[in-house]
Structure 1
Amino acid sequence: MIASVAGTVASIGADVAVVEVGGVGLALHCAPATLSALRVGKPARLAASLIVREDSLTLFGFADDDEKHLFELLLSASGVGPKIAQAALAVHAPDVLRAAIAQGDISTLTEVPGIGKKGAERIVLELRDKVGPPTALPVQGGRSQAWTEQVRQGLIGLGWSNAQADQAVAQVAQTIDGATPPPVPVLLKQAIRLLGKHR
């Protein structure tokens, strides 16, 4: 089983990073916040989880072992697959998720694409005693305030300048206009499309 990957970052996409290890490029599916910390051509170490299916082997990459542990814990809940577990980490920071599960905050959990009310209730029921206490931020305001910096860092990691990233984030924020923001990957792709028009 692959527990971590260390090597040189070969490329960074909207949701995948390729890390070269011993001449082999490994594609790891990562949340935007994880991708934003990577730089092409620079060394990186990612905690990793290998998901084995009958027709595929898929690597998921994480900034640290704590994030990986939460991903794998979410997978242990009924009805939660890798895409939903990663979407949860893309939308909310690990401690926001922990707090939501521990406090039975269904509304925060249902902000994750693919998690409905019944699914959120099931996650709380099955994981509340396993998730452990949050170590930092409370749930309230976790996502709405965090997306701008995650998208900004994601754009910088993909090669745009600070000024370009700030401009794109401002434009995306105008489209939201006070409404509940969509998941960070959606916002990042929107920002990339906006910047692509000006290249």
Structure 2
Amino acid sequence: MKKFLTLILIVVIASLIGGLYGILHDQLTYTISPEYYTKFKFYQFGLMDLGTEAIFPSPRIEVSVVGFMATWWMGLLIGLILGLVGLVHKNNKQMFRATMGAISVTILIAFVTGLIGLVYGRLFLADTDINWWIPEENLVDKKSFIAVGSMHNFSYAGGLIGLLAGIVYSISQKRKHVSADGEAQ
């Protein structure tokens, strides 16, 4: 029963962490390319109807809304998977500790992979004929728009790669605890 409640707690915390990650991620990418939001993301997430450029008095608030909406569900999915893997641990305390460590590993890998995507987008994709929807009208900084789009795509891929690494991390913590307890592996 304690492990089941711990699983629920992990899923809730992971969803909130996922949303917070999205908020911080999108604040960074908004700084790099405001147009990515004013000409794309605000429409994609239904904060504005298609038409002219979306201008808000405090756009950082809307950027936060987009960031949370874009990633809370990824946190839920990652938390559920890592929480289920965490059930292999001896008790709920080890489960919680190992799973939160695995979530940290996942976040770190997602962020680093996103930064790689940003650099890749800026250095290689920005000067190519990419097959994405890009608003051609009045786009002032196409290179930054593409770099930020690349960062977003790479971040999701990094989340999946990080999930795999998080699973490995959690299982390695199980082996660590088994060795520390003097039991056979």
TM-score by length of 1: 0.28
Q: Which has the higher contact order (CA 8 A, sep 6+)?
A: 2
Q: Looking at CA atoms only, which structure, 1 or 2, has the larger radius of gyration? A: 2
More strand by share: 1
TM-score by length of 2: 0.30
Q: Which of the two has greater helix per residue?
A: 2
